[in-house]
Structure formats: structure tokens, C-alpha cells
Chains A and B, each alone.
Chain A
Amino acid sequence: MTTPGRKALLTVLVVLISAWVLFPIILIALASFTTRTQLYAWPRSLVPSPFSAETMRFFVQAQDVLQSLLNSLLVAAMTIVLAVLIGAPAGYALSRFRFGGKEVFRLGILGTKMFPATILAVPLAVSFINWNLYDTLLGVALVHTTLALPFAVVITTSVFVGVPFELEEAAMTLGCSRAQAFRKVAMPIALPGLAAAAIFTFVLSWNEVFAATILTLRNRTLPALVMNAVGLAGAPIDYRFAGGFFMIIPALIIIFVIRRYLLTLWGVTVR
């Protein structure tokens, strides 16, 4: 195919895929900033007029929303701490050491992703009741950690692979112990990558709805609350739109602000 033809095809594909992803998001975003009366009017214009935060305000003030937002943030924070504390050392070990069964271990980590969580739902709920973890934020965070760990390990492995071991060796010849060399040299250089792993973990925990729904009753995270309100209680469409948009906000922040920051950081530190 000629170059202009190829380029045109590429453009069309990019536009199509972008539209497929963006169209619902734009619709939800526009609806979230339309007044509630207008949302129910027919025919109604696509673009809100007047532009109004009333619907969003309604959602935020709805019962339990703020509490479950706080729950979601707490669960995500616990998940990040646990996933990085467990995942980063595993990633470091995979990147630095040769040991028996390393490849099996590496595959096994990914293999856990093949196991459908649905099968675990009932035994997990029973175990959590026995361990007094049922309907607690820590319980949800533990499940989220399990879900996030494979990614945390894979990401941190590649991060530490990008930090040459010679740097740590140089630090050791300059008087560092093994642990000091890690803390003073490998760790600071790996920090942007570890932040990426943390953000990925946050998004995973923020979006996770299955475990959060079956393992909690009163201490719901935000997605579990919205899911419950929409699925069982039949929440009105203004609640749905506003809830949907609210859930997208972290992803938008990451795409527009943090991602660029991360890329420049990597560009400087990891050559």
C-alpha cells in the first residue's frame, strides 16, 4: 500500500477507536452537567444549557456517597501500601537474582490472573466471616492487594531491571552496605516507576466492584455503592450519570496530569 493510503487508513482507525472509547464518556460528562429537570425533558439538547453542577451536587449529597468515597480512598491507600510493600521486593528479587524456579514463579504470578474470582466468592465470604474480616475495609483491601500484586510485581520488576546493578555495586565500593546501596541509590532512581505501580494499584482498587460488593454490607466502597444503587435500588438516571462521571475523574486526572509528569521523569532518570 502507498504511504498516503496507509496514513489515511491509520487516521481513520485512530478516529474510530477514539470515538468508540470517548463517545460514551463525553455523553456521560455532558449529562452530568445538565440540570435534572432538563435531563428528563424531551426533546433535549446534547449540550447542557445552562451548564449546571446541580446534578453532580445531588449525587455527592446523596445518602452514603461521601462515606463510601472515603471508604474507597482508605481501601485504595491500604491496597497501595500493601501491594508496593509486598510487590516491590518481589520485583527487586526477580530483577536482580538468579534462583531456582524463577521462571515458574514469574509465570505463576501471571497465572493467578487466570483464576476467575467468581469461583472464590462464597468460600472467601465464609472465610472472611470466620476471620472477622467481613464488611471491613481491611478485608476489601486484602482482596484488592491480591488482585493488584501480579501487576505490581511485573511493573516493579521492569523498573528495577532499568536500574543498573552496577550503580548499587558502585555504592557498595563507596562504603554502603547492600541495604544502604538499595536505599540511597536504587530506590530513589526507581521511585517514578514505583509511583506508576502505585497509581496502577489505585486505579485497580478504585474500579474494583465485585469483591467490594460481596464482601461488604454497610462499609461499601464507592463503586459497590453505585452498583448497588443502580442495580438493585433502581436509582434515577441523573444519579447514574453523575455517579458514572464521578468514577471517571481519577482516570482523567492520571491521563492529563500525572502521566505526563511520569513520562518526563522516566525520560530523565531511566536511560
Chain B
Amino acid sequence: MADIQLERVRKMFGKVLAVADVSLHIKEGEFMVLLGPSGCGKTTLLRCLAGLERVDGGQVIIGGDDVTDHPPGKRGIGMVFQSYAVFPHMTVFDNIAFGLQMQRVSSAEIQRRVGEGAELLQIQQLLARYPAQLSGGQRQRVAVARAIVMRPRVLLMDEPLSNLDALLRLQMRGELKRLHHEVRSTTVYVTHDQVEALSLGDRIAVMKDGTIVQLDIPDRVYDLPATRFVGSFIGSPPMNFLEGTIRSSNGARALETAGVRLEFHGVPARGRDAVLIGIRPEHIAVERVPVAGGIPAGAIPAAVVVVEPIGPQKLLTVQVGPSTLKVTTPVDFAVDQGQRVWLRFDPSRIRLMDPQTGDAIAS
């Protein structure tokens, strides 16, 4: 087990900057998720860490050792690939034992450690089989076992669940979390699935265009997105964004949108007047009448465009002026397409962004 220090790591593919001087410190035993859309550089960053890509600049330090120029096999890493990369010409046992044999571990020790790894992944009964005789989920377990029997200082996973079907993915996600609690190895996990990131990560590094745009614990990444991109990438449905203005009257500054003055206490004391209001669907209350508890203030009129029952909730698509918002309501909320409703934003959940840069405005 070891910590990881990435220092201004840069990787170019021809003229394309895939990883742009990324610095990141991953603590010992931490589960770090690299999250981002395809092409954001997260897999490339992981491969630089693994030594499968040669960096064009910067340093990779694992457990205090500068491994920047070390080949993958000399870095003390274990890696799980998206395609599993289980060797088809070897039995499950030989697959798991492969790395140990490369290290010339004694055969008694190999027997013991392969048995241990197989037990941890619950594949003891498959050891004599060939990969062609296994299901996708079982191959995935073999790939994970093969990596962890090496007792790597760092465990790297590249979208390990994305080739599994939805149900199996849910199950394996739980398994990986259990495994991390048992093994406690430093883990770097690449995914484009925000649910995986939120459920597995101790911390999440959200990436875009080869840089980390936000690095934080899952709750904060979800509740306090650093940029408009993070808010719209994480959450299903994602965060809503609509234009707002800050108006001064009688010396007090207040937030308005669609001509409605919102109840909001975090208005910055100075700065621009035009802002972007970010609010998650579950933090918008929907009402059929404009007046709640006799106070009409802060209710925004909206037209219902689409009504989608999605099991535990109803998902409404509503139109507020030029903006389209997604909001959720209880299933028993009776509403029809075309109906007029009133929206009330939870004041403590409103997040203001700069409309030009998309960066969050500190409040």
C-alpha cells in the first residue's frame, strides 16, 4: 500500500493534449475515482500512472518512489482492464497465478495466495476452467483476483464494470466496495458513470479536456459543483440551469429569475448582475397553486411539457421562459401535459454560476 503523487503529468497524442499538467495526490488506502465523459483524458491519466503510456512531462511518484521511467511491471501496480484482458489460453488458476509466477514466488505460496484471492472473489469452483467457459461477470472476478493476489501497492481499474449488464453491474459495484473495505488498497478507478463514482469513491476527480475541474468528496461534488459542467455531468437528471439577475433595491441585493424574486440569502455583496442559477431537480417543489401558506413570493410560473413516471417518482419537464427544467414530484402528484404549475426553489440548494465562465460564484 502506498500513496500516489502525480506532479504536472502531461501526455500528448500527436498535437492533441490528452492530459494537461495534472497534479493529484492520492492518499494511502484511498479510493479515488477519475470521472468524466469519454475523451476527457481519465483513462490516459490512469495509463500514465500504470506505465502503459510514457508521459511527456511531469512525474509519477508511488509510495515516495519516482516511477516515472519504470515499466509497468516494476511499479508495484495491479490493473483491471475494461475488456478484463483475461488470458484465453490459460485456466483461471494460471491466470491468477501469472503475476506471482513472474515474481518467482514458490509454488506452495502461489497455491495459497491464488486460493485466498479466489475465495475473496468467490470463484474457487472455477479455478480449472478456461475463460471461454466463463460469463462476463466471472471473467471480471478473475481479472480482479489476478490483480489483487499481487498485493499491489496501488490497484488501478479502468471502467471495470462498463461491459457488464445493468443488474450485474449493480452487484459487482457492491462487491468492489466490500473488497475495498477488506483489502484497503489504494485504488484509482476510472469511470464515466457518475452513479459508480458517487457510490464508490472516497474522493472524486471530475475531469474535462485533460484537466481536473473538481476534486472533492462525493457529497460535495454532487451538492456544490465547482462548474456548470460538473453540475450538468453529475446527477440523473442533471442539475438545472436558468438565467438569473441580481437587482439592487433600497440597498439590498436580491436574486430574480423569470421576473420572480427568489428567496435566497447567498447573494454576493458585489459583482456582476447576470448570473446562472443552478438547482437540482429534487430541490424544486412543484405546486398547483401559486400561493403556499398564504405567501405568494418566490413561486415561478412554469408550463408542463412532458410527464414521465419513473417508478419512485414522476419526472416533469417544464418550461420557464426560455429555459427547460427537469423537476421531480411524488408519484401521486396529479399533473397533465400543458398544465400550469408553480416552482419553488429550496433556497439553501441554489448554486450561482458565472454565465460566461461557468464557474461557481462563492456565496
Residues of B near A268 (CB, < 8 A) are: 88, 130, 132
Residues of A near B132 (CB, < 8 A) are: 268, 271
Q: Roughly how many angstroms separate A269 CA and B130 CA in the complex, as a whole number?
A: 10
In the complex, which of the residues A167, A171, A173, A269 contacts B78, with contact meaning CB atoms closer than 8 Å? A173
Q: Roughly how many angstroms separate A176 CA and B103 CA in the complex, as a whole number?
A: 9
Is A189 a contact partner of B99 (Cβ separation < 8 A)? Answer: no
Q: Roughly how many angstroms separate A180 CA and B72 CA in the complex, as a whole number?
A: 13
Chain A contact residues, majority secondary structure? helix
In the complex, which of the residues B77, B88, B89 contacts A173, with contact meaning CB atoms closer than 8 Å? B77
Q: A166-B83, A185-B87 are in contact. List 19 more A-B contacts (CB 8 A).
A: A164-B83, A167-B85, A169-B52, A170-B81, A170-B85, A170-B86, A170-B87, A172-B52, A172-B72, A172-B73, A173-B51, A173-B52, A173-B79, A174-B99, A175-B103, A184-B98, A189-B88, A268-B132, A269-B89
Taking the complex as formed, is A177 at the interface, i.e. its CB lies under 8 A from any CB of chain B? yes
How large, as a class, is the contact surface on chain B? Answer: 20 to 34
Residues of B that sit less than 8 Å from A by CB? 50-52, 71-73, 77-79, 81, 83, 85-89, 98-99, 102-103, 130, 132, 143, 146-147, 150, 156
Taking the complex as formed, is A108 at the interface, i.e. its CB lies under 8 A from any CB of chain B? no
Given A166-B81, A268-B132, does the pair A172, B71 have CB atoms closer than 8 Å?
yes
In A250-271, the 8 Å CB interface with B consists of 268-269, 271
Q: Roughly how many angstroms separate A184 CA and B98 CA in the complex, as a whole number?
A: 10
In the complex, which of the residues B73, B81, B86, B87 contacts A175, with contact meaning CB atoms closer than 8 Å? B73
**Nearest-Cβ distance from residue A87 to partner chain B, whole angstroms:** 22
Most buried by A among B52, B77, B78, B147: B52
Most buried by A among B73, B86, B102, B147: B73
Given A169-B52, A170-B79, does the pair A176, B85 have CB atoms closer than 8 Å?
no
**Nearest-Cβ distance from residue B15 to partner chain A, whole angstroms:** 15
Taking the complex as formed, is A234 at the interface, i.e. its CB lies under 8 A from any CB of chain B? no
Q: Roughly how many angstroms separate A25 CA and B150 CA in the complex, as a whole number?
A: 59
Is B85 a contact partner of A175 (Cβ separation < 8 A)? Answer: no
Is A175 a contact partner of B99 (Cβ separation < 8 A)? Answer: yes
**Nearest-Cβ distance from residue A174 to partner chain B, whole angstroms:** 3
Residues of A near B77 (CB, < 8 A) are: 173
Is B85 a contact partner of A166 (Cβ separation < 8 A)? Answer: yes
Residues of B near A178 (CB, < 8 A) are: 71
A-B CB contacts (within 8 Å), total count: 69
Q: What are 12 contact pairs spanning A and B, CB under 8 A?
A: A166-B81, A170-B87, A172-B73, A174-B73, A174-B99, A175-B73, A175-B102, A178-B71, A189-B88, A189-B89, A268-B130, A271-B132
Q: Roughly how many angstroms separate A170 CA and B83 CA in the complex, as a whole number?
A: 10
The 8 A-B pairs with the shortest beta carbon distances in the complex, nearest first, are A174-B99, A175-B102, A170-B85, A175-B73, A173-B79, A166-B85, A172-B72, A173-B72
Q: Roughly how many angstroms separate A176 CA and B89 CA in the complex, as a whole number?
A: 17
Residues of B near A180 (CB, < 8 A) are: 102
In the complex, which of the residues B73, B98, B146, B156 contacts A177, with contact meaning CB atoms closer than 8 Å? B73
Smallest Cβ-Cβ distance to A269: which chain B residue: B88
Smallest Cβ-Cβ distance to A174: which chain B residue: B99
Is B73 a contact partner of A164 (Cβ separation < 8 A)? Answer: no
Q: Roughly how many angstroms separate A169 CA and B156 CA in the complex, as a whole number?
A: 13
Taking the complex as formed, is A89 at the interface, i.e. its CB lies under 8 A from any CB of chain B? no
Residues of A near B88 (CB, < 8 A) are: 167, 189, 268-269, 271
Taking the complex as formed, is A111 at the interface, i.e. its CB lies under 8 A from any CB of chain B? no
Is A169 a contact partner of B89 (Cβ separation < 8 A)? Answer: no
Residues of A near B73 (CB, < 8 A) are: 172-177
Q: Roughly how many angstroms separate A6 CA and B88 CA in the complex, as a whole number?
A: 41
